[in-house]
Amino acid sequence: KKELVDTLKFAVIAFVILPFLPDKGYGPLGIFNPHQVWLMVVFISAISFGGYITLKWLGEKGITLAGLLGGVASSTATTLSFSERSRKEGKIFRALALGVILANLSMFVRVLVLVFVVNASIFWEILPSVLILIVLTSIFSYFLWKKAKKVKAKVHLTSPLRLGPALKFGAFFAVIVMLTKIANVYFSARGIYLVSFFSGFADVDAIVLSLAQLVDTTITLKVAHDGILIGILTNILAKGGIAYWLGGKEFGKIVLSFFLVLVVIGTVLLYFL
């Protein structure tokens, strides 16, 4: 009965509410877009719902697959969903942490694909930095996987859909988008790095596509490289914070510790690549 009710809830938020929300900005500078904000609520709910189904079919081993696939849509949404789950299913905290880290790995690959499609010149500029982050993540994921696979805990399935965390994240997303638009208007080209910093907290894709399109016309390859990398690093930092504050204790420590390492290494890359 609970699964049926939650399925109907998801159908309502995704196929009834979302299509009717206007996809345009309201307020000064068009800072609030109802469709864009609710789309993030749908994303988070979909990851939560999809993760529940995957776990029910595949058990604990389905977590890693859910992380990889979830990262393709939204690594931040996946992090939020897995963080909430880690509080309920503490025995499999390593598997859940691995799912979040793999979702972040998918985000790296998605960024490279987006850049290559939009502007191949910036692709070759950003490739070395992102490849280093991919290699480090892959190595750490392998060792974490070896530890996680030894845990034979029974997965305790709770509610397939948790709207509370999704709605909270939607509000957070709206605030970050508002700050990004204000910074973009008042600081213009001089605020590219500032815009990248704020954009990374909400959405990496937006800043990646914007900077890739501006290369060779408004900004240099180096500026685009640094702006994209800043957006990636702040996004990683935001996900680390979500995991630490909203997830279980051990889960949060693993994710935040590794993400801080990535942020430090990425900061060094800003100066040397």
- Among 38-52, 63-77, 181-195, 253-267, top mean pLDDT goes to 253-267
What are the counts of helices (DSSP H) followed by strands (DSSP E) for the chain?
Answer: 10, 0
- Residues 56-98 pLDDT 10s: 776 656 677 777 877 776 788 889 888 988 888 778 889 889 9
Maximum CA pair distance of the chain? 57
pTM of model > 0.85? no
Radius of gyration of the chain (CA): 19
Distance CA(103)–CA(112), nearest Å, equals 15
d(C-alpha 123, C-alpha 116), whole Å: 5
pLDDT grade, residue 156 (50/70/90)? low
Structure tokens at 108: 């790296």
| Residue-wise pLDDT tens digits, 192-201 | 888 888 888 8
Reading the block at residue 11, the tokens are 């159908």
> Could you tell me the pLDDT band of residue 190, with boundaries at 50, 70 and 90?
low
Q: What are phi and psi of 151, to 5 degrees?
A: -80, 120
Distances (CA, A) of 104 to 3, 179, 214, 229, 258: 29, 24, 26, 14, 11
